[in-house]
Amino acid sequence: MESLEKTRFQLMSLVQKNKVKFLELQFTDVAGMVKNLTIPAGELDASLSKGIWFDGSSIEGYARVAESDMYLMPDPSTFAIVPWRVGSDSIARLICNVHTPDDQPFGGDPRAALIRAVQEAGSMGLAYCTSPEMEFFLLRVGQGGEIVPPVPHDSAGYFDASSDTVAQIRSQLMSTLASFGIPVEAMHHEVAGGQHEVDFLDADSLSTADNMITFRLALKAIAQRNGLYGTFMPKPIEGMSGSGMHVHQSLSYATNGADAFSDPGDPHGLSKIAKHFIAGQLAHAKGMCAILAPLVNSYKRLVAGYEAPVHLSWARINRAALIRVPRSAESGRARLELRCPDPSCNPYLAFTVMLAAGLDGIRRELPASDATEENPYSVEESSRKGHNLLPASLDAAIEALEEDEVVCAALGPHIARRFIESKRIEWHEASCEVTPWEISKYLSNY
């Protein structure tokens, strides 16, 4: 109680010092879209002590009208001044957990699902950290505000020094993330024109998910202020590289912080726990895929036969493998890089299922397959050598999710059901769409 009172006092002091007039209480729906409830700064104390009630019946994947009442409980550790809203009407934000009227975590809250998964790891004496590499595009905006068709803001390539405008945006992004206290390792231009990547430093998975949600908002806001449009769509432009989100994962022992993945005596530098974790993620890769690559468009990026992580294999140097062991394992701390997620995913749900899959491998002591260091880009070669592939469409990924009891249990029945329902609708809509390709291919011939 004394600690809570101290936290309240500290936050209220920050609000007064920074002349904050309003607070944005943030949470996400099942799809990962950020939702805001704005309250006057004077309601901060009440929100911290008893929460703020809202109607969840209109939130994607939340509750039916008959069970719509719920309340937001802010997480005080997420308090931050919104840097692009500083001035006479400064705004601060708090990321919230969603609760039901009986004071229980709401089963449809993605953040709550990750908290459960983290607690499950804690019960096994383990702590889970992640560091994603988020790719995104900056697009030109037409005179009328149009962004279709998408046009990259530049034609630079991998690690190129691009225009002054981009350098300015990159500087603004880095400064903004620093003001939020978000640890970033680097930011650079990616392969495609207009494509960039930001690399987050290792942090506990809940903080990382919070930081990713914050970065999405920051990128959109800063791009708009510079007359551009930022997008995390996986494959916005045909014939150009898609945007992925490789996630580096580490596991440590909760008692002493020692690395649970590292074993210097192993040829790959990996412990038995690490190999069980790999085996668990490979075993549940198909079931996780709809969560990690959640859009119809995601499967325009995950295409077999290209340098895409669709093969259910692991390796050290083979970048077409689903899971890669970076060379940094030789420094004494091992990481596992999962390469199939894309930046459109809900990070809370993504880390939830990734952790659950790995823990299942540890719990059941699943044996890892041999590392696949040869290049399996060829579909024919992959099939001949017996490598499995990820689902080739959102429809197939949804079916795999439905069949995976471990992944569905990690999500919880509410999220699993609502996610599958919404994605089936999305797939049906896409299947009924008559595309420009179909018109150009068939109209003049049939």
The model's pLDDT over 333-388, given as tens digits with 9 standing for 90+, comes to 899 999 999 999 999 999 999 999 999 999 999 999 988 876 655 544 544 454 58
Distances (CA, A) of 318 to 31, 275, 283: 32, 17, 19
Taking residues 233-240, report their average pLDDT. Answer: 93
Distance CA 429, CA 415 (A): 21
3-state secondary structure of 24: strand
pLDDT tens digits, 209-225: 999 999 999 999 999 99
| Exposure string over 124-149, b if 16+ CB within 10 A, otherwise e | eebbbbbbbbbbbbbbebeeeeeeee
The predicted pLDDT at position 133 comes to 96
3-state secondary structure of 344: coil
Distance CA 62, CA 106 (A): 9
Q: Is residue 54 very low, low, confident or very high in pLDDT (cuts 50, 70, 90)?
A: confident
Query: Is the pTM above the cut of 0.85?
Result: yes
- 426 tagged catalytic: no
Q: Is residue 306 very low, low, confident or very high in pLDDT (cuts 50, 70, 90)?
A: low
Closest CA to 127 of 213, 182, 206: 206
pLDDT tens digits, 89-122: 889 999 999 999 999 999 999 999 999 999 999 9
- 185 tagged catalytic: no
- 197 tagged catalytic: yes
3-state secondary structure of 159: coil
From the candidates 24, 109, 197, 360, which is the catalytic residue?
A: 197
The predicted pLDDT at position 320 comes to 79
- 140 tagged catalytic: no
* Domain spanning 116-438, CATH architecture: 2-Layer Sandwich (3.30)
For the domain bounded by 10-106, which CATH number is listed?
3.10.20.70
Strand 195-200 and strand 69-74: pairing? unpaired
3-state helix, strand and coil shares in percent for the chain, rounded to the nearest 5: 40, 20, 35
The predicted pLDDT at position 160 comes to 59
| Exposure string over 326-365, b if 16+ CB within 10 A, otherwise e | beebeeeebbbbbbbbbbbbbbbbbbbbbbbbbbbbbeee
What amino acid occupies position 369? S
Q: Is residue 294 very low, low, confident or very high in pLDDT (cuts 50, 70, 90)?
A: very high
Among the ranges given (28-37, 111-120, 124-133, 189-198), the one the predictor scored with the smallest mean pLDDT: 189-198
Taking all residues of the chain, what is their mean pLDDT, rounded to a whole number?
89
The predicted pLDDT at position 217 comes to 95
The predicted pLDDT at position 280 comes to 98
Q: Which two tokens stand for residue 90?
A: 């400064």
417 or 383, greater pLDDT: 417
Domain ranges of the chain: 10-106, 116-438
- 60 tagged catalytic: no
Domains 10-106 and 116-438 share a fold: no
Among the ranges given (183-192, 243-252, 301-310), the one the predictor scored with the smallest mean pLDDT: 301-310
From the candidates 5, 55, 146, 307, which is the catalytic residue?
A: 55
From the candidates 93, 216, 284, 339, which is the catalytic residue?
A: 339
Where is 358: in which H helix or E strand? helix 347-363
From the candidates 85, 140, 316, 319, which is the catalytic residue?
A: 319
Distance CA 322, CA 315 (A): 8
323 or 170, greater pLDDT: 323
- 55 tagged catalytic: yes
* HSE-CB of 269 using CA atoms within 13 angstroms: 17
- 190 tagged catalytic: yes
